[in-house]
Structure 1
Amino acid sequence: MSELRFEGVTVRYGTGRRMMNAVDAVDLTVPPGQVVGLVGESGSGKSTLARAAVGLAPLAAGRVLLDGRQANRRAPRGTPRPVHMVFQDPYASLDPRMRVGDSVAEAVPRAALADAEDRRAEVARLFGLVGLDEGHTGVRPAELSGGQRQRVALARALAGRPSVVIADEITSALDVSIQGTVLNLVRDLQQRMGLGMLFISHNLAVVRYVSDVIAVMYLGRIVECGPAHRVLADPQHPYTRELLAAAPRRDGYAWDAAAEEGGAVADAEPPDPHHVPAGCRFHPRCPVGPLARPERTRCATLDPAPDAVARLHRTACHFAARTP
């Protein structure tokens, strides 16, 4: 089992006045054998961070390390991939002209299984792991359902013999009736194989089902991170509370946004990421920030991120509880 660590990771897009930090100085650790759920709304930088981990997005600053060694290098085909990514759209990530069995076989390290018969046996084993019959190996992606294609994508990720898997919104393109089955499969595979996993979603209800640790991302930064049960039971950042209030209330974790002191900020739009607000990035939308409580002027002028380590769940909020 291996530890994946992001240290001060920054990813920039654009140049000049149109330059933006899609990911801004992110520190995050995926502990060995645990699932870290990364949650945030669209445009928060989650997928960019995932792509940076596998070398698909160049770093402007920082490092991505697996057990202390650089991890964000694109490995040649047929070689082991210690960090592997499963993409949101399984159809786009599979070659439509190839049989799915060949797509999975292509990811099996050649040094490990050079013999063609052994590779076919390994593909059959991987298909069995993800709940597909061996007969599915001879079909093309268009002949499979969305859930079956995502199972093939999982098998392909496991074929590279990774230590850490990054699952980027892998249920969002699936029918609701299939999402639960895929989530159960992901959790079962992770536990049986002892994999570390970064599980990315905009849906906190999905993230809390599979995660040991929850990290909340907003405008390119991690604003809260801690053990899942603690973050869900006692969310410290107003943005986390907003996400939790929007999630279905079925497992005892809920937050009443209407009960927030100061009330909600009505119909606030996310800021332009090219022009990040000064101070706390969430303050123009915060239900307990300066728009609701004018005396809280520091939210609009002072960045809470530098002192986050001293607060509960490393929360980037001036009014979060201090770590005991």
Structure 2
Amino acid sequence: MSELRFEDVTVRYGTGRRALKAVDGVSLTVPPGQVVGLVGESGSGKSTLARAAVGLAPVAAGRVLLDGDDVNRRPARGTSRAVQMVFQDPYASLDPRMRVGDSVAEAIPRGALTGSQGRGAEVARLFGLVGLDAGHVHSRPAELSGGQRQRVALARALAGRPEVVVADEITSALDVSVQGTVLNLVRDLQRQMRLGTLFISHNLAVVRYVSDIIAVMYLGRIVECGPAHEVLAAPQHPYTRELLAAAPHRDGYVRDDVPGQTGAAVTDVEPPDPHHVPAGCRFHPRCPVGPLVLPGRAECLTLDPSAGAAERVHSTACHFAVGASVPTSTPT
């Protein structure tokens, strides 16, 4: 089992005045054998961080480490890659011209098995592991349902003999009736194989079902991170509380009993332009307990709460989270 660690990772697109920091100084750890759920709305930088973990997004600053080694050093051709990714759209991630069994066999590291018979047996084993009939190895992606294609994508990721799996919105393209089945599969596989997993979703209801740790991302930064049961029971950041309030409960209705929820809403406020990040707290233009609602909290307009996040409960990037003192330093 291995630990995946992001150390002050920044991913930047473009140059000059129109440069965009999709990920801005993110530090996050995926402990061995645990599931870290990364949640946030569209455009928060979740998928960019995932792509940085497998070398598909350029890391402008910081490092992505697996047990202390840089994961983005290109492995030798045909060898296993320690971090494997399962993409959001299983149809787009599979070659439509190839039989799905061949797609999975292609991901098996060279030299891991000898002969076509050995590779065929391994593909059949992987199909059984993800709940697919061995007869599907001869099918093409278009002949399978969305849920079956996502199972093939999981099998292909596991074929690479990974130590960490990154699952990027793997249920968002599926019917609701299929999502639960895939989530159960992910949870069962993680328990059996004890792989570290970075599970990404915009839906907190999905993340809380599979995660040991929950990290909340907003506008390129982690704003809260802690054990799943603690974050869900006592969310510290107003954005986390908003996400939790919007998540469907078991009866299908959104929650109105979220700890710390004030009743104020930000649903009518559009997210800021990521090319022009707000000064101070990035969430303050939408915050239901921020300076636009409570004028006495003017520090949110000028002081970046990330500076003292490590000293607060859940490392929360909020001036008024538990463990925080009202800042008096020079504005940044």
Instruction: Give the structure-1-normalised TM-score.
Output: 0.96
**1:290, 1:257 → 2: CA distance?**
21
Given the superposition, is the C-alpha separation of residues 266 and 168 from structure 1 closer, same or farther in structure 2, using an over 3 Å criterion? closer
What secondary structure, in the 3-state scheme, does the structure 1 residue paired with 2:81 have?
coil
The reply to whether residue 228 of structure 1 matches residue 224 of structure 2 is no
- 1:263 to partner: Cα distance: 2.8
- Could you say what secondary structure the match of 1:36 adopts? strand
1:1-324 map, 5 Å: 1-75=1-75, 78-250=78-250, 254=255, 256=257, 260-261=261-262, 263-265=264-266, 267-322=268-323
In structure 2, C-alpha distance between the alignment counterparts of 1:309 and 1:263, rounded to whole Å: 27
Give 1:215 deviation, angstroms. 0.1
> What letter corresponds to residue 265 of structure 2 in structure 1?
A
Per-residue deviation at 1:17? 1.3
- Give deviations 1:38-80, integer Å, cap 9, x for gaps: 0000000000000000000010000000000011244455311
Once residues 260 and 227 of structure 2 are traced to their aligned partners in structure 1, the CA distance between those partners, rounded to angstroms, is 24
Q: TM-score, normalised by structure 2?
A: 0.94
Give the unaligned 5+ runs of structure 1.
none
Instruction: Between 71-80 and 146-155, report the one with greater CA deviation.
Output: 71-80
Could you tell me how far apart the structure 1 residues matched to 2:248 and 2:276 are? 33
Aligned amino acid, residue 302 of structure 1: L
* Cα offset, 1:113, TM superposition: 1.0
Question: Structure 1 residue 322: deviation in Å?
Answer: 1.0
Deviation at 1:16, TM superposition (A): 1.3
Q: Secondary structure of the residue that 2:88 maps to in structure 1?
A: coil
Does the 8 Å CA contact 1:5/1:64 hold for their aligned counterparts? yes
How many aligned positions are there?
Answer: 323
In 2, distance between residues paired with 1:222 and 1:232?
Answer: 16
CA separation of 1:121/1:196 partners in 2, compared to 1, >3 Å: closer, same or farther?
Answer: same
**2:235 and 2:259 in contact (8 A); partners too:** no
List per-residue Cα deviations over 1:196-224 (Å, max 9, x = no partner).
00000000000000000000000000000
Distance 1:77 1:95 in 2: 19
- Matched to 1:318, the amino acid is H
> Percent identity between the aligned chains?
80
What code does the residue aligned with 1:234 have? Answer: A
Question: How large is the RMSD of aligned CA atoms in angstroms?
Answer: 1.8
User: Is the Cα contact below 8 Å between 2:55 and 2:72 reproduced in 1?
Assistant: yes
SS of equivalent residue, structure 1 residue 55: coil
